[in-house]
Amino acid sequence: MMTRRHAIRTTAVAVIAAAATPHIVTHAASAGNAPGASSPFTLPKLPYAEDALEPHIDAQTMQIHHGRHHAAYVSNLNKALADSQAGGSRSIEELIQNLNSLPESVRTAVRNNGGGHYNHSLFWQMMKKNGGGEPRGELAKAIESGFGNFSDFKTKFNEAATKVFGSGWAWLVLQDGKLAILGTPNQDTPLSTGAQPLLGVDVWEHAYYLKYQNKRADYLSAWWNVVNWDFVAERFSKRA
């Protein structure tokens, strides 16, 4: 029979081994649909310099948002999972899609911090230097058939982002094979309700307050200039 001390030591060794295995570390630039890997999770590198999205998103906001806020979600997620030994080899997607399989004591921490890690890992990739414009190809057609035209889509997306009360996100998702726009509070993700996020915008004040203060609408109109439609189209083309 395994003693408790032995079990703890074995877990610690397993965690160190996982951290040292290169293939477990996944970087945002190549992560695509799978930000981070299994527990313990790591902060993905930004796929561009902190000032790459200037003047729309300022460098200081990016630095604090990525280096402090996202980093805190990752470390708080790891702490919750380590304390409860609930992480195992599950991916971030598996964890946040199966919150009920986790001990009740860590469910809220994983929902908030795991959701934060997942959402932000996607968010960095959903933006790029010299982004913006309009989507092309199949995604453009799907947006037209779902929302009338690109301009109407943008209006509806902005409405959803403006309507999020307090902190949260607005999303373009695929749900039951169709495009839809929805808002989520806090760090909840569309994944938890079975939708696949294609494009999302962070409307927590930490995402824009330094440059735009309370003017969320100004932040939103600037944000469209950095949207990485290639990344969104790639996610759309890989839809199930």
Residues near Mn ion (CB under 5 A)? 202, 204
DSSP state letters, 136-148: -HHHHHHHHHHHS
Nearest to 69 by CA among 233, 215, 208: 208
CB of 167 to Mn ion, least distance (A): 8
* Whole-angstrom distance, CA of residue 39 vs CA of residue 15: 8
- CA 207, distance to chain mean position in Å, is 13
φ/ψ of 165, rounded to 5, equals -85, 125
CB of 85 to Mn ion, least distance (A): 28
Q: Which of 89, 214 has the CB closer to Mn ion?
A: 214
Q: Which of 209, 224 has the CB closer to Mn ion?
A: 209
CB of 204 to Mn ion, least distance (A): 5
CB of 115 to Mn ion, least distance (A): 11
* Whole-angstrom distance, CA of residue 28 vs CA of residue 81: 22
Q: Which residue is nearest to Mn ion (CB)?
A: 202
* Whole-angstrom distance, CA of residue 206 vs CA of residue 82: 27
* Whole-angstrom distance, CA of residue 43 vs CA of residue 167: 22
Nearest to 28 by CA among 112, 153, 117, 156: 117
Q: Which of 135, 200 has the CB closer to Mn ion?
A: 200
Q: Which of 171, 204 has the CB closer to Mn ion?
A: 204
Per-residue CA distances from 19 to 33, 69, 89 (Å): 21, 22, 12
Q: Which of 142, 207 has the CB closer to Mn ion?
A: 207
Q: Which of 109, 233 has the CB closer to Mn ion?
A: 109
CB of 136 to Mn ion, least distance (A): 28
CB of 123 to Mn ion, least distance (A): 7
